[in-house]
């Protein structure tokens, strides 16, 4: 059972504005989802779990971290539910509770991206690759194969070019205050 102090449906609605209770399990979201077959759960099951308050069930599975945000589910839903926004909100909840799934390296990569943006005002690919290699030694061979190709195509800039770090700092502060306000509105208090 979930241990959140407010119901999961309420938390999701407070953060994303989406009413998960409108879902009637037609599974059109699942049928169009490009990653539905790569985890234990699929989008329609996630929606049902939200309705039933089964946060642990969702966080024990890696599906939300495989979600690419492609919005196919959202465009297909006959109830006009923004399913992709629900997935985003669940990722926020998972991070807040320290429950990033270990079987989803993309989750760690998203965090490295974010940290790089905050530090330099833009993403610095070289730092990203180095930090990923430190955290995930098995990824070194992938980078050795991909890195030179990306470099030749200009996808990696070997030199650091700072972006607007002050603007980034302001954005981070604004995002943090919005997240906190949403959690407070839902009665979760933003606690991990
Ligand atoms: S498409 Fe919409 S109504 Fe159908 S299962 Fe998915 S979220 Fe529920
Ligand atoms: S946004 Fe996520 S859940 Fe929706 S179809 Fe795309 S990958 Fe699947």
Predicted local confidence at residue 88, as pLDDT: 94
Cβ neighbours of residue 104 closer than 8 Å, sequence gap 6 or more? 62, 65, 66
Q: What is the number of the ligand closest to the CA of 87?
A: 2
The reply to whether ligand 1 has any atom less than 6 angstroms from the CB of 42 is: no
Nearest CA to ligand 2 atom 8: 33
Nearest CA to ligand 2 atom 6: 70
Predicted local confidence at residue 192, as pLDDT: 37
Residue spans of the domains in the chain: they are 8-101, 105-172
pTM: 0.78
60 close to 97: Cβ distance less than 8 angstroms:
no
64 close to 87: Cβ distance less than 8 angstroms:
yes
User: For the chain, first and last CA: distance in Å?
Assistant: 16
Q: How far apart are CA 28 and CA 25, in angstroms?
A: 8
Predicted local confidence at residue 191, as pLDDT: 40
Tens-binned pLDDT, residue by residue, of the chain (192 aa): 444 445 899 999 988 899 999 999 999 999 999 999 999 999 999 999 999 999 999 999 999 999 999 999 999 999 999 999 999 999 989 988 889 888 887 788 888 888 999 999 988 888 888 888 888 887 788 888 888 888 888 888 888 888 899 999 999 999 888 877 877 776 665 443
Side-chain-side CA neighbours of 91 within 13 Å: the count stands at 20
Nearest CA to ligand 1 atom 6: 29
Predicted local confidence at residue 186, as pLDDT: 67
């Amino acid at each position: 059972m979930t241990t959140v102090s407010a119901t999961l449906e309420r938390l999701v609605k407070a953060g994303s504005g989406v009413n998960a209770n409108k879902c009637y399990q037609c599974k059109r979201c699942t049928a169009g989802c490009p990653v539905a077959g790569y985890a234990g759960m699929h989008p329609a099951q996630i929606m049902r779990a939200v309705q039933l308050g089964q946060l642990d069930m969702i966080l024990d599975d890696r599906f939300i971290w495989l979600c690419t945000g492609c919005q196919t589910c959202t465009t297909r839903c006959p109830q006009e539910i923004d399913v992709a926004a629900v997935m985003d909100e669940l990722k926020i909840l998972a991070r807040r509770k320290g429950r990033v799934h270990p079987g989803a390296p993309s989750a760690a990569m998203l965090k490295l991206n974010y940290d790089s943006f905050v530090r330099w005002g833009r993403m610095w690919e070289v730092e990203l690759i180095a930090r990923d290699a430190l955290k995930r030694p098995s990824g070194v061979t992938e980078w050795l194969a991909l890195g030179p190709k990306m470099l030749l195509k200009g996808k990696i800039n070997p030199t650091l070019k700072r972006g607007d770090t002050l603007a980034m700092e302001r954005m981070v502060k604004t995002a943090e205050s919005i997240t906190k306000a949403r959690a407070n509105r839902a009665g979760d208090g933003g606690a991990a």
